[in-house]
Amino acid sequence: MRTDYTISNLCRLHWRLDRFLVSQSSTVSCILLLKSGETKPRKKKKRKRGGESIKMSPKTSKPLKATPKYVLRKFMRVTIKILMAYVALSLVLIAIPHAYKFIWGDKITSEVLSKVSSNTTDPKELALRIYSWEQQNFANPYFIQPENMSLIEKLLAGYGFYYDKQGEVHLFRPFNIFPVPPQWVLHSKLANCEEYAKVFVYLMSQEGVKARIVRAPGEDHAWAEYYVENYKIIFDPSNPKNPVIVNPKQFGQLKNFSYVEAYDPANPDHKEDVSDEYIERGRLIVKVVKGNEPVSGATVEVLSTYLRERFPKRYDAPRYVVVNETGKDGTTQFKLGPKEYKIMGKKCSFLICWKGESTGKVIAGSTTYAKLELRVDYVTTSILCALTIIPTGVLMLVIHKRYVYQRQQ
């Protein structure tokens, strides 16, 4: 019985090895094997991987001994899968607020408007009702102190999830960076000054009142303005005490604004400079050079260090204020509020980038000159070269392999 069992197994194995033969040939091979009296199976051949002889498992067809090259390949595959899953989840998280806007945006808007706009046609009364509703329902995540948060709350906050006033967890902004539509803010009820202004302008516009968002990017603040018979009313819905701004100059001086712009959410690319309504400004002229030669077409960005100096725990880097490009003479100019600024310049040509930094202190009513010298940015240049050369090399290798394979066929 033992011999028959072994011979039967050998026949099955031999048939698998010779499965490309016709059935008659396999039968003949098994008969010859039985006549020869062999009872021991043949040893499994060793496969070579990376120039090294490796024993393969007969069950799983995987190496019995993990070589460094095999471990590295396995690690790279797992790492790539984890990164792809993280990127996919991140894209889903970013898309959730915008998907909500298209699916339930009209419904949530109608529900809120039915509460704030009933029995009124006066824009001023409507503005106060919207303001009152926002103050009652919105919670500001930035008012939560990190030391008062648990470990789970800190982990959720890193992705943009916070508790609202009802104790429910909602998404504020994906990763606290990506903006969300006003319809999502009406749902999540989580808002900073930008969301307060965005929702206020959105609801006013829905009722036919002309309104715009006003913001000072360098000082991270936003508010609103609306019009009643061509008369402009400046309104800060995030202010819990007095939302109406009667004296814009005093308001701008108190906030130490650098630059103020206004825009309609329906046309966000068209921004109007309204800084003169809020601050006294000076002129900053920046000249960009490379080897004492003027550089045209260089991007010059002005940054404000005010918030980093005042709130270092929350703002660890200077805030963007405004950007411009140099002309043929290598110069560009800005009109800014009185304070010291950080100036950054950049110019890229094909795969090589140059950058430079400088500072400039602006005084109201006067002109300040700053010189910015560009040097090679090795980090950005290396990244651009890698992103260009590596995909090109991989594509050429794939084409070469296919060409060689076709030649062999």
Nearest to 358 by CA among 384, 378, 383, 334: 334
Give me the pLDDT at residue 66, please: 61
Give residue 12's pLDDT band: very low, low, confident or very high (50, 70, 90).
low
Residues forming a β-bridge with 170: 162
**pLDDT, position 224:** 98
Token code pair at residue 25: 């040939």
Is the per-residue pLDDT at 138 higher than 90?
yes
Cβ atoms of 272 and 355 within 8 Å: the answer is: no
Residues 6+ apart with CB under 8 A from 26: 14, 15, 18, 19
- Fold topology of 77-277: C8orf32 fold (3.10.620)
The whole-number pLDDT of residue 63 equals 58
- Report the percentage of the chain scoring pLDDT > 70: 84
Looking at 25-34, 353-362, 382-391, which range is the least confident one?
25-34
pLDDT of residue 199: 98
Q: Where are the domains of the chain?
A: 1-44, 77-277, 282-376
CA 342 – CA 121 distance, rounded (Å): 47
Angle ∠(98,103,107) on CA atoms, nearest 5: 110
Q: What is the pLDDT at residue 57?
A: 59
* Sign of the CA dihedral with 171 first, then 174, 176, and 182 last: negative
Asked if the domains 77-277 and 282-376 are classified in one and the same CATH topology, the answer is no
| The predicted structure's pLDDT at residue 145 | 80
Tokens of 183: 């319809």
pLDDT digits (tens, 9 = 90+) for 50-106: 444 555 656 566 555 567 777 888 889 999 999 999 999 999 999 999 999 999 999
Residue 31, pLDDT above cutoff 70: no
Distances, alpha carbon 22 to alpha carbons 12, 13, 15, 34, in Å:
15, 16, 10, 19
Q: Which CATH superfamily is domain 282-376 in?
A: Carboxypeptidase-like, regulatory domain (2.60.40.1120)
